[in-house]
Amino acid sequence: MAPIPLQRDTVQRPGTTRAGGAHGPRLASRTSLPGIPLAPSAARRFVRAALAEWTGLGVPAAVGFSDRLADDAVTVTNELVTNAVVHAGTTVDLVLRLEDEGGDEPSAALVLEVTDHHPARPVSGDEPEPGPEPDAAVAGELPDPAEYGRGLQLVATLADSWGITYRTGLKTVWARLPVDDWSAPPTPPDGEALRRGLRAAAILAPAARRTERDDAVWDSRGAPAFLAEASDLLAGQLDEDLVAAIAGQLLVPRLADWCAIWLETEGGGPAAEPRLARVWHSDETGSEPLRTALERAPLSLPAGAGSGPVAVPWPAHPGAPAGRPGEAEGTARPHPGGRDGAALAFRITAGGRALGTVLVGREGVTRVPETVASLIEDFVRRLGLAVGAARAYTRQATISRILQRGLLPSKVADIPGVTSSLVYEPSDDGVVGGDFYDIFPCPGDRWCFVLGDVQGSGPEAAVVTGLARPWLRLLSREGFGVGEVLDRLNRLLLDDAMEAAEAAALMVAAAGGQQLHDGTQSRFLSLLYGEVVPLPDGGVRCTVASAGHPLPLLLRPDGSVRPAAEPQVLLGVVEDVAYESQVFDLVPGDTLLCVTDGVTERRSGPLMFDDGDGLARVLAGCAGLPAEATAEKIRRAVHEFAEQPPDDDVALLVLHAD
């Protein structure tokens, strides 16, 4: 397939005045690419061409164009365009801007913008926006890597800042890369134009530049700096495929011309074949042939191979004809590029377990220098730790999701005469949240709703949730009133806490009196519990009780808001307590809002979302809206209250009388 022809529109905007009277131009280059697999390759060429053009023009900020900046810009562009092509599939608009700022210490940045024309498609794991307002900026949240593209995690690692902007019919993902230290140069001396021309050629042809590799840089300072950078980039990555992708880009072209990374299938048994997770080549046209060659002849290391380098045969080109003079029938030719070289394999290990293999190759040489081989070995050790940590997180996240699905209802009941809308956002996908909800029918033409919040999170919270939900359903269906249900649930929680304390005491006695720190938490529960009965003339009669929970708010059609319950003590704290309930009618047009403290106590610095009745003010602006629109408006207000994402579970339930 032929490459995509590039159409670039470069615009030079009026510059801003700097100290000393120097003027820095503001540049922008833009192009449009079809939403096909060749678009990322064309985008990479476009970025390098733009950087080379600006360098050749003698733009002051181009002095700070380093190899790393060019590589990062190309990598970020590749990931953003790939994400747009995969998830949107529309024409992709790419803009590269060079922005410089005046002042005593001038600075500059490259800003990349990738726009697709399918704003309903998610980019980073967010649900599709129901009706985004023009120019509404959305904070950059990391995706769930198991279900969406992983490119934005890499962008977040490389970029100084990034985000997503929604406009009517468009969605733009942008990233800002700071230009390295620079200052406006004086009038170019003789030979400066030639120097700029050589630099521009180097940016345009990075592969040719890197073939002349200087292994002397890996001295006592170069190797530690590389390993420190690698550790920073690999640390904290929670997906093993993303770890492999970053590792490939760190190895190539600094230490090798190409690399391949296999990862063992976790829990697959000894007969399971490792999967080829990543292939990276300094010549982008060589990646697919190399992958094909490696898939046809998978790498197999000796059983006794440790973490050190193991020399392996050079991969063979899969499409080479057999039967050349001097070759046995079926012999394949060296791959790729017509030159063979030296290839080394390294076992990826962590905690004594084999997690995969790294294969690196250098073209046109007979051996890899010992210094480089030793450096790659140290790098692979860090790679093993990163892969092991990512797998541990994935296991925990998987267990948590399975447990969460078991603790929350798969479907909530529909209440006659009432439209309900529910928002539930756990703060951490890898940990079981403490918030839970339920809506279920009961005998006697009754429907019950629950919104609860267990102290803490993780296994202890899951235990309380796993006890409270079925107990609530059982007590409700036995015909107990709202207050009586809370009385009995309080008694059950106290009894369970007493049994847990007795078990802990036995463990302490068995340990010879030594106090054990097993992470056991007090089993406190805040709960909002209500019962709904349809009225003959429309609407419903609600009976609610709040036990240490944010009070439900009742919204009338005229915009007035009032609490619909009285505050009472948490469940599982006090033994001798009698819970009381409040009764009111929810007539057509009325809305009842129930939330957890993840909404009311959402923080922005020293302020909380509900300070000064902030929640009631937002709810008052929802008069006349249906349940779903009200829930979405409250959710947006909670997220927009602070720049950082919520650090607690967010749960809210809206009941709107039809």
For residue 273, the number of C-alpha atoms closer than 13 Å in the C-beta half-sphere is 7
pLDDT band at residue 107 under the 50/70/90 scheme: confident
Do 653 and 602 meet the contact criterion of CB atoms below 8 Å apart?
A: no
Specify the range with the lowest mean pLDDT, choosing from 91-95, 283-287, 607-611. Answer: 283-287
Q: State residue 520's pLDDT score.
A: 47
- The count of other CB atoms within 10 Å of the CB of residue 67 is 12
pLDDT greater than 80 at residue 596: yes
DSSP codes joined into one string, 314-328: PPBPTTPPS--TT--
Per-residue pLDDT tens over the stretch 133-143:
333 333 334 44
Most confident of 154-168, 192-206, 281-295: 281-295
Q: State residue 593's pLDDT score.
A: 96
Asked whether residue 563 falls in the same domain as residue 534, the answer is yes
User: Last residue of a domain, which of 173, 204, 235?
Assistant: 204
Mean pLDDT of the chain: 77
Q: State residue 135's pLDDT score.
A: 37
pLDDT greater than 80 at residue 185: no
> Regarding predicted confidence, which is higher, 209 or 567?
567
Which stretch of DSSP H or E encloses residue 204?
helix 192-204
> Regarding predicted confidence, which is higher, 619 or 648?
619
Give the pairing of strands 446-454 and 435-442: antiparallel
Spacing of C-alpha 335 from chain mean position: 36
For residue 534, the enclosing domain spans: 408-657
Residue 372 to residue 256: CA distance in whole angstroms = 9
Asked whether residue 390 falls in the same domain as residue 490, the answer is no
Per-residue pLDDT tens over the stretch 375-395:
999 999 999 999 999 998 888
Any idea what DSSP says for residue 20?
A: G
Residue 87 to residue 80: CA distance in whole angstroms = 11
What is the count of structural domains for the chain? Answer: 3
pLDDT band at residue 560 under the 50/70/90 scheme: very high
Is 348 contained in some domain?
yes
User: Last residue of a domain, which of 364, 379, 399?
Assistant: 399
Most confident of 179-183, 390-394, 624-628: 624-628
Residue 633 to residue 651: CA distance in whole angstroms = 13
Q: State residue 147's pLDDT score.
A: 38
> Regarding predicted confidence, which is higher, 38 or 336?
38
Asked whether residue 86 falls in the same domain as residue 59, the answer is yes
192-204 vs 39-57: helix crossing angle, rounded to 10: 170
| Mean of pLDDT values over 25-30 | 73
Q: Which amino acid is located at 47 in the chain?
A: V
Asked whether residue 101 falls in the same domain as residue 223, the answer is no
Asked whether residue 20 falls in the same domain as residue 150, the answer is yes
Specify the range with the lowest mean pLDDT, choosing from 69-78, 116-125, 533-542, 643-652. Answer: 116-125
Asked whether residue 349 falls in the same domain as residue 435, the answer is no
> pTM for the whole thing?
0.52
Q: State residue 517's pLDDT score.
A: 43
Q: State residue 317's pLDDT score.
A: 57
Residue 280 to residue 288: CA distance in whole angstroms = 9
Q: State residue 24's pLDDT score.
A: 42
CATH number assigned to the domain comprising residue 294: 3.30.450.40
Burial environment of residue 505 by CB neighbours within 10 A (0 to 12, 13 to 18, 19 or more): exposed
| Mean of pLDDT values over 605-628 | 92
Do 491 and 485 meet the contact criterion of CB atoms below 8 Å apart?
A: no
Is 1 contained in some domain?
no
Asked whether residue 198 falls in the same domain as residue 220, the answer is no
Most confident of 93-107, 276-290, 507-521: 276-290
- The count of other CB atoms within 10 Å of the CB of residue 68 is 12
Share of the chain above pLDDT 90, in %: 30
Specify the range with the lowest mean pLDDT, choosing from 109-113, 243-247, 291-295, 324-328. Answer: 324-328
CATH number assigned to the domain comprising residue 595: 3.60.40.10
| Mean of pLDDT values over 418-430 | 81
Asked whether residue 148 falls in the same domain as residue 86, the answer is yes
Asked whether residue 281 falls in the same domain as residue 380, the answer is yes
Tokens representing 521 are 């938490």
- Strand order across the 591-595 sheet: 418-425, 650-657, 591-595, 553-555, 561-563
Burial environment of residue 338 by CB neighbours within 10 A (0 to 12, 13 to 18, 19 or more): exposed
CA 191 → CA 24, 61, 196, 471, distances in Å?
Answer: 22, 19, 9, 83
Do 335 and 257 meet the contact criterion of CB atoms below 8 Å apart?
A: no
Question: Could you report how far apart the first and last alpha carbons of the chain are, in Å?
Answer: 58
> Regarding predicted confidence, which is higher, 638 or 62?
638
Residue 36 to residue 589: CA distance in whole angstroms = 49
pLDDT band at residue 456 under the 50/70/90 scheme: low
| Mean of pLDDT values over 570-599 | 92
Share of the chain above pLDDT 70, in %: 72
Residue 530 to residue 116: CA distance in whole angstroms = 46
Q: Tokens 């009385």 identify what position?
A: 487
Asked whether residue 555 falls in the same domain as residue 605, the answer is yes
Any idea what DSSP says for residue 557?
A: T
> Regarding predicted confidence, which is higher, 190 or 91?
91
pLDDT band at residue 122 under the 50/70/90 scheme: low
Residue 260 to residue 358: CA distance in whole angstroms = 6
Give the pairing of strands 418-425 and 258-263: unpaired
Is 3 contained in some domain?
no
> Regarding predicted confidence, which is higher, 182 or 438?
438
pLDDT band at residue 422 under the 50/70/90 scheme: very high
14 preceded by a cis bond (ω within 30 of 0): no
Any idea what DSSP says for residue 355?
A: E
Residue 70 to residue 50: CA distance in whole angstroms = 10
Q: Which amino acid is located at 389 in the chain?
A: A
Asked whether residue 335 falls in the same domain as residue 462, the answer is no
Is 2 contained in some domain?
no
> Regarding predicted confidence, which is higher, 277 or 269?
277
User: Last residue of a domain, which of 399, 420, 445?
Assistant: 399
Residue 593 to residue 432: CA distance in whole angstroms = 24
pLDDT band at residue 619 under the 50/70/90 scheme: very high
Per-residue pLDDT tens over the stretch 40-69:
888 888 888 888 888 777 777 766 677 778
Q: What are phi and psi of 300, to 5 degrees?
A: -135, 115
pLDDT greater than 50 at residue 589: yes
Asked whether residue 447 falls in the same domain as residue 553, the answer is yes
pLDDT band at residue 18 under the 50/70/90 scheme: very low
Compute and round to an integer the Cα radius of gyration of the chain.
31
pLDDT band at residue 648 under the 50/70/90 scheme: confident
Number of H helices, E strands in the chain: 14, 24
pLDDT greater than 90 at residue 656: yes
CATH number assigned to the domain comprising residue 156: 3.30.565.10
